Amino acid sequence: MPRTASKKGPANSSSSSAVDLFRSGKAATKELERIDQLYYSYANNLSGMIDPEGIESLCSDLKVDHTDVRILMLAWKMQAEKQGYFTLEEWRKGLKALRADTIIKLKKALPELEKEVRRPSNYVEFYSYAFRYCLTEEKQKSIDIESICELLELVLGLQFRPQVDLFVQYLRTQIDYKVINMDQWMGFYRFCQEISFPDFSNYDAELAWPLILDNFVEWVRSKQT
């Protein structure tokens, strides 16, 4: 009975798959080594973390200002927990996702990262993260007005410039609120998306809007009369 080559094919295929898997694993290991090497070029020798000084150096190498919204987007991609600091695990998570193991690749990844963040499916999460990232103290639940104004201009200024400018003007003028909480922060984003501007014709104060937005609309209307 003649021999068939049926067993030979799978054996070769299996061997080839194993080689491919080995090469893939080796490449991933090398990539991770480069990501780690890049991390330690910015990390503080004592703390082992990238601190504000390290982030400033990173921004310099990326040719972006440390107040550039893309640095906040990078922190979002890493899911960094502490403002102004990146841990090794956070760095690995972000750079592996961006497929960036050199400063050149990271710089090239920033425009794509911005596109990713600005997708509606991601933006609400990013907007919420921006608030949480600015909670610098343990058990802190609100942010002072001046910091909120700066944060609004950074994260919402591009999409809703007229609304942000007017709300910031109101926040800096009013005396009732010293801080803003998460509910008020998220409420303003929904306000920008849903409410007709500048006439506020579809704004209903009877609905569940944060009181600060009722006051804001009232303030604007009083200026228009």
pLDDT in tens, 125-181: 999 999 999 999 989 999 999 999 999 999 999 899 999 999 999 999 999 999 999
Residues 6+ apart with CB under 8 A from 27: none
Backbone torsions φ then ψ of 144, nearest 5 degrees: -65, 155
> What single DSSP character describes residue 198?
T
> What single DSSP character describes residue 63?
T
Domains of the chain: 21-117 (1.10.238.10), 121-224 (1.10.238.200)
C-alpha to C-alpha distances, 171 to 35, 67, 117, 136, 215, nearest whole angstrom: 42, 21, 27, 21, 10
Segment (H or E) for 83: none
Segment (H or E) for 180: strand 179-181
pLDDT of residue 19: 55
Contact between 52 and 84 under an 8 Å Cβ cutoff? The reply is yes
**Distance between CA atoms of 225 and 114, rounded to whole angstroms?**
40
pLDDT of residue 20: 56
Q: How confident is the model at residue 81 (pLDDT cuts 50, 70, 90)?
A: very high
Give the global pTM.
0.85
**pLDDT of 33-46, one tens digit each?**
999 999 999 999 99
